[in-house]
Amino acid sequence: MRTKLILVEGLPSSGKSTIAEITDEIFNEIGIERKLFKEGNLDHPADYDGVACFNHKEYNELIAKYNKYSQLIQKDLIQKGNDYFLPYAKLLKESSTIYPNELINDITKYDIYELSLDRHIDLILKKWEHFVHSVIHDKFTYIFECCFMQNPITVSMLRDNSPKEKTINYIKRLTKIIEPLNPILLYVNQMDIEKSFKKVLNERPESWLKGFIDYYTNRGFGKVNEMDGIEGTIEVLRARKKLELEIFYLLEMDKWIIDNSSYDFNNTKDELMNIITKHYNK
């Protein structure tokens, strides 16, 4: 069976968004039907972005407290058993209604990436299982940016400072789920993390930098290790990369390290073309 899933991973500022786009271009050039889902896509078929999940009791309490907005909330609600999924980011983006900050805060507390780690893992793995089952026989190859390694490590390591073994086990379970799609993992590497991160500082708004530093230094691993500011953030990135590469070498799947230290995307495209065409000509 040919590959139906390309996973593009790497640190922030490594160039993985561009690598994902180049991969998409290559598939277009060789005539492979594909779908690209980049980081932050609110319609991601295998991950959650801006989605809250409530159990029956939590959902009823929310509706009782904010009865005035109940019809708007219920319009996009998805119920699966005792779980109630609310894609609140799409709701806020598409609705002309101005919601009170208290309601938004009460919803985002239940964002799937803010739930307890075990609850989070359970929901994410079920989402991936559903994805694999739904696409196994379709005609598309799927290109995903950052949701295979980055997102699990963000929650388990950066947010919770969980034991390394728990993070590894989480990603190994995910690897087993996607095995039927014959995936390829592309890890975008930067040799100089400090240089690449400081490069992106000039490309992103100040609000992004503030939020990024806050997450990396005031939660989980960064907080426990007393990291601070930009330099502390870079140290956390180094620790994250170390764990990512350890996991990368443990995984039994088709995997490649793409060195993007020079940001020479023409050479990188040639490298990716060789990887992809060799695989599709098997």
Residue 280 predicted with pLDDT over 80: no
**DSSP 8-class letter at 12:** T
The last residue of one of the domains, among 108, 127, 151, is 108
Tell me the whole-structure pTM to 2 decimals: 0.95
Our count of domains for the chain comes to: 2
Q: Are residues 64 and 163 in the same domain?
A: no
Q: Are residues 94 and 210 in the same domain?
A: no
Model confidence band, residue 210 (pLDDT cutoffs 50, 70, 90): very high
Q: Are residues 229 and 98 in the same domain?
A: no
Q: Are residues 251 and 191 in the same domain?
A: yes
**Maximum alpha-carbon separation in the chain:** 59
The last residue of one of the domains, among 88, 108, 128, is 108
pLDDT in tens, 159-177: 999 999 999 999 999 999 9
Q: Residue 117 belongs to what H/E stretch?
A: helix 117-135
Question: What local confidence, expressed as pLDDT, does residue 59 receive?
Answer: 97
Question: What local confidence, expressed as pLDDT, does residue 254 receive?
Answer: 96
Placement of tokens 């938004």 in the chain: 104
Q: Catalogue the long-range contacts made by 30-33 (C-beta closer than 8 Å, 24 or more residues apart).
A: 30/276, 30/277, 30/280, 32/141, 32/280, 33/139, 33/140, 33/141
Residue 198 predicted with pLDDT over 60: yes
Q: Which sign does the torsion angle of CA 263, 264, 265, 268 carry?
A: negative
Q: Are residues 232 and 152 in the same domain?
A: yes
Question: What local confidence, expressed as pLDDT, does residue 53 receive?
Answer: 98
Q: Are residues 206 and 147 in the same domain?
A: yes
Placement of tokens 């919803």 in the chain: 107
* 52-54 vs 83-86, strand pairing mode: antiparallel
Question: What local confidence, expressed as pLDDT, does residue 263 receive?
Answer: 87
Q: Are residues 169 and 235 in the same domain?
A: yes
Question: What local confidence, expressed as pLDDT, does residue 1 receive?
Answer: 66
Question: What local confidence, expressed as pLDDT, does residue 281 receive?
Answer: 65
Residue 90 predicted with pLDDT over 80: yes
Phi (first) and psi of residue 59, to 5 degrees: -65, -45
Q: Please provide the average confidence, as pLDDT, over all residues in the chain.
A: 95
How many beta carbons lie within 10 A of that of residue 235, not counting itself? 19
Question: What local confidence, expressed as pLDDT, does residue 225 receive?
Answer: 98
Which residue range forms the structural domain that includes residue 273? 5-44+117-280
Q: Report whether 124 contacts 147 (CB < 8 A).
A: no
Q: Report whether 46 contacts 38 (CB < 8 A).
A: no
Question: What local confidence, expressed as pLDDT, does residue 282 receive?
Answer: 52
